[in-house]
Amino acid sequence: MDGRRLYLASASPRRRELMMNLGCDVNLIEPREVDESWPETMRPEVAPVYISRKKAEAYCHDLTPDMIVVTADTVVIADGKVLGKPHSADEARDMLKMLSGKKHLVVTGVTLTTTEGLHSFATHTTVSFDNLSDEAIDYYIENYKPFDKAGAYGIQEWIGYIGISGISGCYYNVMGLPIHDLFKHLALI
């Protein structure tokens, strides 16, 4: 990284853990308030990069030449619909029922920001769920409170152990940060 310092602008404990395990010094900075909406005409698969760039732009005026700021956004797309973070147990239950027995797409957009500009990329992972019983869904919601997770689940939690039958793509992308791709793109800037 040529003597530059890496900063993660995220409140996500999973992203912070993944970045810390990357093997380089990472500074954590608080994310700034950003409107995370996107144009209605935009395809859902494109939205995460769009949002990660909006998040990155909040830091552009505060950078020094030795800084690289990492921002990210993850969406779960099922049946052509974006599943955000659930606001209630009922909403989480509905999301998990929608995912049950089907495949869905997880897309994370990442932007690396320096004084030289913004470099963005997206990583796509397909996740397959077995059929989930109502009891399993209720147990997960009650014990794991997945209200801070897109699609109402964490692959690294109990529901991932018992419910996910397969993935095609990056496991860490489903957790919220495609570390393999991030490492490759850091070498490009």
Residues belonging to the active site = 73
| Residue in 27, 72, 29, 32 with CA at minimum distance from that of residue 53 | 72
Rounded to a whole number of angstroms, the distance between the first and last alpha carbons of the chain is: 8
HEC per residue, 101-159: CCEEEEEEEEEEEECCEEEEEEEEEEEEECCCCHHHHHHHHHHHCCCCCHHHCCCCCHH
Would you state the structure tokens that stand for residue 62, as one six-digit string?
């505060």
Residues in the chain: 189
CA dihedral of residues 54, 58, 63, 65 (deg, nearest 10): 10
